[in-house]
Amino acid sequence: MIKLSGVTKIYSTGTPAVRNLNLHIGAGDFVSIVGQSGTGKTTLVKMLIAEERPNKGTIEIGDTDITKISSSDIPYLRRQIGVVFQDYKLLPKRTVYENVAFALEVAGEKRDRIHQVVPQVLEIVNLSHKASSYPPQLSGGEQQRTAIARSLVHRPKIMIADEPTGNLDSINTEEIISILKKINEFGTTIILVTHNREVVNHLRRRVVTMHGGEIISDEHDGKYKL
């Protein structure tokens, strides 16, 4: 499903962010990528959604090497990958419903389909009752659930969650992780980037540990080591 081969990214400042990454993630996997700040986790996420391009190596998603796709194809790639961030990245002047619908609107989906899909995903994340609220009116957990709902509208085969619980308390963290597990049960590959020890240890899934821009361990049924 996802295959990184010899991926190296050096920023224009000369700082190497990641070096010679080799990683294979299969369909339906739930992988936690852990490591301290500045180890290249976010750079890896950015490369997976083609926000950054590696200096060396290839990143294959399905049959496509995304390091070679044109700028005009990037939006189509992003519609196939659900992404959730620590800071939620919601449009503050659009309601919960509009934020979720926006991802479908920009993909050219018809109105009937939007009216059908948006309530469904809002129900999955238990936010139907907040559909007409604006992001600033929501709690952190609700905002993150909105972001997850938005990432689900295209029924992505891959979902990347970059520190999704970083701003949340333990109750909301548990709720978000259980939603991610539920999504994974439907067959979606989950890549969870985190440095939350409890979450990783509780999950008991595959753990990839990064340090200094390199992968230092990759264990199935792993634990948080650092």
Partner 1 sequence: MLSFFRVLKFALQDLWRNISLSFMTVFILILMLLSVNTLWSLDVLTKQAVEAVKKQIDVSIYFVPEATEKNVTEIKNYVMLFPEVTDVRVQTKEQVLADFREKHKNQKEALEALDELGANPFGPTMIIKTKEPKDYKKIIDALNVPEYESIIEAKSFDNHEEAITRLQNITNRIERVGFGLTILFALISFLIIFNTIRVAIATQKVEIGIKRLVGASNWFIRGPYLVESVIFTIISVSCTIGLVYLALRWIDPYLAVILPNGFSLTNYFYSNMLMLFGAQALAVLLLTVLSSLLAMRKQLKV
CB 61 within 8 A of CB 69: no
- Residues in contact with partner 1, shown as a per-residue x/- string from 37 to 76 under the rule CB under 8 A: ------------xxx-------------------xx-xxx
User: How many CB atoms are closer than 10 A to CB 68?
Assistant: 10
Residue 78 found at the interface with partner 1 (CB under 8 A): yes
7 vs 152, beta carbon nearer partner 1: 152
User: How many CB atoms are closer than 10 A to CB 24?
Assistant: 12
CB 9 within 8 A of CB 129: no
Query: In the window 145-164, what residues touch partner 1 (CB under 8 A)?
Result: 150, 154
142 vs 162, beta carbon nearer partner 1: 162
With CB under 8 A as the rule, give the number of residues binding partner 1: 27
**Of 2, 18, 31, 90, which lies in the binding site for partner 1, with binding defined by CB under 8 A?**
90
Identify the CA nearest to 95 among candidates 128, 124, 64, 54. Answer: 128
1 vs 69, beta carbon nearer partner 1: 69
CB 152 within 8 A of CB 146: no
Dump strand ranges (E) for the chain: 2-10, 16-25, 30-34, 56-61, 64-65, 81-85, 158-162, 189-194, 206-211, 214-219
CB 25 within 8 A of CB 189: yes
Span of 4-12, 16-24, 83-91, 165-173 interacting with partner 1 by CB under 8 A: 83-91
85 vs 224, beta carbon nearer partner 1: 85
Residues that bind partner 1 (CB under 8 A): 49-51, 71-72, 74-79, 83, 89-94, 102-103, 105-108, 110, 150, 154
